[in-house]
Amino acid sequence: MANVITIKCANNDIIKRSKIGGFILIKVENLNFTYDTTKEVIKDLSFKIPKGSWVSILGHNGSGKSTLAKLLVGLLKPESGSIYIDDELLTEQTVYDIRKKVGIVFQNPDNQFVGVTVRHDIAFGLENMQLPQPEIVDRVQKYAKLVGMEDYLEKEPFQLSGGQKQRVAIAGALAMHKELIIFDEATSMLDPEGVFEVTSLITKLNKEQGQTIITITHDLDFALKSDYVIILKDGYLIAEGKPSELFLKKELLEQSKLTIPLGLQVYLDVLNDKDLKNNKQLVDELWTYNLKK
């Protein structure tokens, strides 16, 4: 688990800061969840996520990662354990206040549209917040521009690509000034261009805007761009740390049942721990590896 240091402020307030950057925004303690009292999906899960960080939660299908996303926004109720968002315990009494701080972008962009146009969709949550109309107009324009959709405000959903729909969903969450945005397999149904669009936007939001982000994914290439990864297997947390360190552990990746990208597979099988002196030795190693395949 990430190390946490305690800081005493001038006003004697005690705050906690994670060494991976930022103050603790999410704290999960001993979380358990079971479907229909028979299928245990989340098992004694504990972790912390700092404000301003980008954390990827990785796992194979059925590992519990999407269930965890629903627990974090209060769509499911844990069997036991605690979830704190910005130091506030998530309960039936606090769930609506906490949802003001947490947005979620789901896997299928077609299931996210509630407005007849892009403008109406981004404005939908703001209208529910009963904001003044001039402020709604300003926020819609601001966040449509931020995600590169300012020229599509009068378009209808069916006129947009998958990547564009996801960008609209992201704009809607940002416009409501969410502390945290969770992307639940938000690129898995997109074509390569859409994946590039959404990945670039997430990177920009985190690195330039300081937006706290959780990405739920099974894609190691995608997760490599994040600051920190949490790996789940069968509901348990089996590893966490920097992706550049964890992804070099071949046994861990095989244990997690994650698909290893070809480039990483070649590195782990051929180049890791090899003292190659020149290009000829590299070519010889690659040819040998290819023949074995």
Q: How far apart are CA 74 and CA 51, in angstroms?
A: 19
On the 0-12 / 13-18 / 19+ scale of CB atoms within 10 A, 101 is middle
pLDDT value of residue 73: 92
Q: pLDDT value at position 55?
A: 95
- Give the pLDDT of residue 12: 41
pLDDT of residue 4: 43
State whether residue 31 is helix, strand or coil.
strand
Q: Where are the domains of the chain?
A: 261-293
Position 53 scores a pLDDT of 93
Tens place of pLDDT per residue across the chain (293 aa): 344 433 333 334 443 434 455 588 999 999 999 987 677 899 999 999 999 999 999 988 889 998 999 999 999 999 999 999 999 999 999 999 998 899 888 888 787 788 889 999 999 989 988 999 999 999 999 999 988 899 999 999 888 988 888 889 888 888 988 889 999 888 877 788 888 888 888 898 898 888 999 999 888 888 888 999 999 999 999 999 998 888 888 788 888 887 776 666 666 666 555 554 555 555 565 556 555 55
CB distance 240 to 229 below 8 Å: yes
pLDDT at residue number 185: 85
pLDDT of residue 114: 84
The model's pTM is: 0.79
For the chain, the C-alpha Rg in angstroms (whole number) is 21
Structure confidence at residue 82 (pLDDT)? 96
Contact 73, 102 (CB under 8 A): yes
Instruction: Please give the backbone phi and psi of residue 80, each rounded to the nearest 5 degrees, phi first.
Output: -160, 170
Which residue in 48, 76, 52 sits closest to 64, CA to CA? Answer: 76
pLDDT given for residue 15 in this prediction: 38
pLDDT for res 135: 95
